[in-house]
Amino acid sequence: MDFRRWELVLLAAILLLAAFFRLYRLEAAPPGLQHDEVFHGHDASVVLQGAHRTYFESNAGNEPLFVYLMTGAIALFGSNYLGIRTAAVLRGLATIIVHLDDTCLSLRRGVLAPISGPNRALSGRGRPLVTVKR
């Protein structure tokens, strides 16, 4: 297998493992809904009622991207733990994809960026600021 195919196999394996651990007993761990989940769920229900905002004041303020993601999950799964927690699961899996893709890109360039997330955030372009030659 070439390097790119190995990257895809590794990405799929890591995503499956992450999804298993995140989805296993989703309704029970952690027990009950946490206060942040409830605030985001409330904001999502406000959006479902037709109030589209660019900023949500509840829970000391929230930007809308996660709230709109949760709105879609609640519309799909209902206003319950599954609808509320699915948005966080999807966001977590997307974060893994971004970080693994950034790490694989760094390895293909011949550099190793073990702190790819902060590097990506600081550079704004997905290129590592700190590199170590192999």
Is residue 89 within 8 Å of residue 26, measured between CB atoms? Answer: yes
- Note whether residue 74 is domain-resident: yes
The reported pLDDT for the residue numbered 1 is: 53
pLDDT in tens, the chain (134 residues): 565 787 778 888 988 999 999 889 888 877 888 888 889 888 999 999 998 888 888 888 888 888 999 999 999 998 888 888 999 899 888 888 877 776 666 666 665 555 555 555 555 555 444 444 44
- Note whether residue 116 is domain-resident: no
Comparing C-alpha atoms, which of 69, 5, 60 is closest to residue 35?
60
Number of domains in the chain: 1
- Note whether residue 109 is domain-resident: no
Q: Which two tokens stand for residue 83?
A: 């609808």
- Note whether residue 123 is domain-resident: no
- Note whether residue 134 is domain-resident: no
**HEC profile for the chain?**
CCHHHHHHHHHHHHHHHHHHHHHCCCCCCCCCCCHHHHHHHHHHHHHHCCCCCCCECHHHCECHHHHHHHHHHHHHHCCCHHHHHHHHHHHHHHHHHHHHHHHHHHHHCCEECCCHHHHHHHHCCCCCCCCEEC
Q: Which two tokens stand for residue 130?
A: 């700190």
- Note whether residue 118 is domain-resident: no
- Range of 71's domain? 3-97
**What are the two backbone dihedrals, phi and then psi, of residue 51, each rounded to the nearest 5 degrees?**
-90, 95
What's the CA gap between 90 and 73, in Å, rounded? 10
pTM over 0.75: no
